[in-house]
Structure 1
Amino acid sequence: MRIIFHGDNAASFSKGFAELVGSEAQVRILPDVLATPADQEAYAQADAIIGVKFDAGLPKPAGLKLFHVPGAGYDAVDLARLPAQTSVCNCFGHEQAIAEYVMSALLARAIPLSDADQKLRRGDWAYWAGSPDRVHGEIAGQTIGLLGFGHIGKAIARRAKAFEMQVHVANRSPVAVSDLVDRAFTLDQLAEFCGSVDAVIVSVPLTADTTGIVGAAEFAAMKPDAVIVNVGRGPTIDETALFEALQAGRIGGAIIDTWYRYPSAAEPHILPSKLAFHELSNVLMTPHMSGWTDGTIRRRQQTMADNIKRCLEGSALTNVVREGRSDA
């Protein structure tokens, strides 16, 4: 089995991978840009490719058995261009990390540990217990709204319940009220959903239907002190509507991890939006880091290694995006 890790993102999962797959594996790491004939030939002859994109600019690997995305999103993979016999799979295993990110961000808004530390180092006892003027918040009793109830949404719900929060869900397919879910909405009730919660967590994948799914109407419906958190894909929230709601103070704030612009070789230090989010004091900005932990890498490595072994054995694959045609 000739296994290619294509690009820097995929290469993050390569360390120790051969040991997970077994002695039959031949592992090679290729750069994002296949500049040499040798790199192009290696890519074209691969049996399995681990990578985040496939497009017309890449050699067509005629004998490819498996294309494995090392993450959940496969919007940069042109499925129609891959050989018909190629199965395409993706990975999850990031829901634990993203759920911890969401809960830590919400806790940080309620419990000002860093500010209390900095003030006390100057002799300022600003949060000292014993006076109503010095109280801080808590998240117990608040309502968290999960837009999307897949792997990430369910992981957040379990943790929110541990913090005694109410959980509301808005999802494309119906979600039943349960021990995890106190109230469920359909997507045509999105404004009502947004108005019912103290925090809106967006984790839906980016599709034609979800692009701009949260816009001006949803921000108008939100409570004035509510916060919105995006750990899905940037464009699921309308960029201009988000900026205007924050700039005008119509909502309490935003925690944004997934963005509208990303670094490239030409612009390695680009700001994440054409709009001046970085000038707003009610935004916490992070660089698409919520799911990127050592645990995520370890879990995804195991998923990909298991699928490659299944491919070798002719067994059924997991996390299948597209099943390869056996008659191709």
Structure 2
Amino acid sequence: MRIIFHGENAASFSQGFDELVGPEAEIRILPDALEAAADREAYAAAEAIIGVKFDAGLPMPHDLRLFHVPGAGYDAVDLARLPTGASVCNCFGHEQAISEYVMSALLARAIPLADADARLRRGDWAYWAGSPDRVHGEIAGQTIGLLGFGHIGKAIARRAKAFEMTVHVANRSPVATSDLVDRAFGLDELEAFCASVDALVVSVPQTADTTGIVGREALAAMRHDSVIVNVGRGATIDETALFEALRERRIGGAIIDTWYRYPNPGEPHILPSRLPFHELSNVLMTPHMSGWTSGTIRRRQQVMADNIRRCFSGTALVNVVREGQP
């Protein structure tokens, strides 16, 4: 089995991969830019490729049987250009990490551990129990709204219920109320959904239909003290509308992990938006880190190794984006 890990992102999953897939695997790690002739030849000869993109600038791998994206998003993979005989699969396994990120961020807003620690080191007992002037918050009893109810939304719902939160969901396909879901909305009820929650978590993928799905109307419907959390894709929330709502304090705050601009070779230290979110005190900014944990890598490695073994043994694949044609 000639297996290629293409690019820095894919290479993150290569360590120990030979032990998971078996001794018959011939594994090679290639850089993002395939400038050397030997690298282009190796890519063209691959039977399985793990990578985040495929486009006209890459060699055609005529013997390819499986193209595996090491994450959920495959928008950079030109499916029509890939050989028709190759199956395409993706991975999840990040929902555990992202749900922990969301819950820790919400807990940090309610329970000011870092501030309490910093103050007490100066002799300031600002949060000392015993006076109503010194109380802090809690998330029990609050309502969390999940825009999107896939792998990530379900994982957040399970953890939110453990903290005794009420869970509202807005989703493209209908969602029934259950032990996890207290109330469900359609996407045509987005403003009512936004108005009903204390924390709004956006985890929908970016498509033509979801780009800007949280716009001025949805933000205007939010409560003045509610918080919005983006762990999906930056452009699912209207950039200008979000900045203005935060700057004008029309909502309580934002926790943003997925952005509008990302580093590139010419701008390795670029700010994540053309607007000065970094100047706002009611925004917590993180660099698209919520799902990137050792556990995510381990789980995705296992899925990809299992799928490669399935592919070469002729058994059914999991997380199929496109079936290869005989």
Same topology, TM > 0.5:
yes
List aligned pairs for 1:216-231, cutoff 5 A.
216-231=216-231
Give 5+ residue unaligned stretches, structure 2: none
Letter in 2 for 1:154: K
Residue of structure 1 in register with 2:306 after alignment: 306
Letter in 2 for 1:303: V
Letter in 2 for 1:243: F
Q: How far apart in 2 are the matches of 1:63 and 1:222?
A: 52
Q: 1:210 Cα deviation (Å)?
A: 0.4
Q: 1:60 Cα deviation (Å)?
A: 1.0
Aligned residues: CA RMSD: 0.4
Matched, 1:173 2:191: no
List aligned pairs for 1:103-142, cutoff 5 A.
103-142=103-142
Q: 1:202 Cα deviation (Å)?
A: 0.3
Q: How far apart in 2 are the matches of 1:56 and 1:132?
A: 64
Residue of structure 1 in register with 2:268 after alignment: 268
Give 5+ residue unaligned stretches, structure 1: none
Q: How far apart in 2 are the matches of 1:273 and 1:77?
A: 25
Q: How far apart in 1 are the matches of 2:285 and 2:105?
A: 11
Q: How far apart in 2 are the matches of 1:59 and 1:213?
A: 37
| Equivalent residue pairs, number | 326
CA offsets 1:301-325 (integer angstroms, 9 cap, x no match): 0000000000010100000000110
Residue of structure 1 in register with 2:95 after alignment: 95
Matched, 1:184 2:184: yes
List aligned pairs for 1:235-274, cutoff 5 A.
235-274=235-274
CA offsets 1:179-234 (integer angstroms, 9 cap, x no match): 00000000000011000000000000111000000000001000000000000011
Percent of matched pairs sharing the same residue: 82
What is the TM-score with the length of structure 2 in the denominator? Answer: 1.00
Residue of structure 2 in register with 1:68 after alignment: 68
Matched, 1:162 2:171: no
Helix, strand or coil at the partner of 2:106? helix
Residue of structure 2 in register with 1:205 after alignment: 205
Q: 1:63 Cα deviation (Å)?
A: 1.1
Q: 1:25 Cα deviation (Å)?
A: 0.4
Letter in 2 for 1:56: A
Matched, 1:315 2:315: yes
Q: How far apart in 2 are the matches of 1:313 and 1:189?
A: 47
Deviation beyond 4 Å, 4+ runs, structure 1: none
Q: How far apart in 2 are the matches of 1:29 and 1:250?
A: 49
Q: How far apart in 2 are the matches of 1:135 and 1:165?
A: 20
List aligned pairs for 1:270-309, cutoff 5 A.
270-309=270-309
Q: How far apart in 2 are the matches of 1:114 and 1:68?
A: 41
Q: 1:269 Cα deviation (Å)?
A: 0.4
Q: 1:265 Cα deviation (Å)?
A: 1.1
Q: How far apart in 2 are the matches of 1:299 and 1:55?
A: 27
Helix, strand or coil at the partner of 1:35? coil
Q: 1:255 Cα deviation (Å)?
A: 0.2
Q: How far apart in 2 are the matches of 1:233 and 1:239?
A: 11
Residue of structure 2 in register with 1:39 after alignment: 39
Letter in 2 for 1:149: F
Q: 1:174 Cα deviation (Å)?
A: 0.2
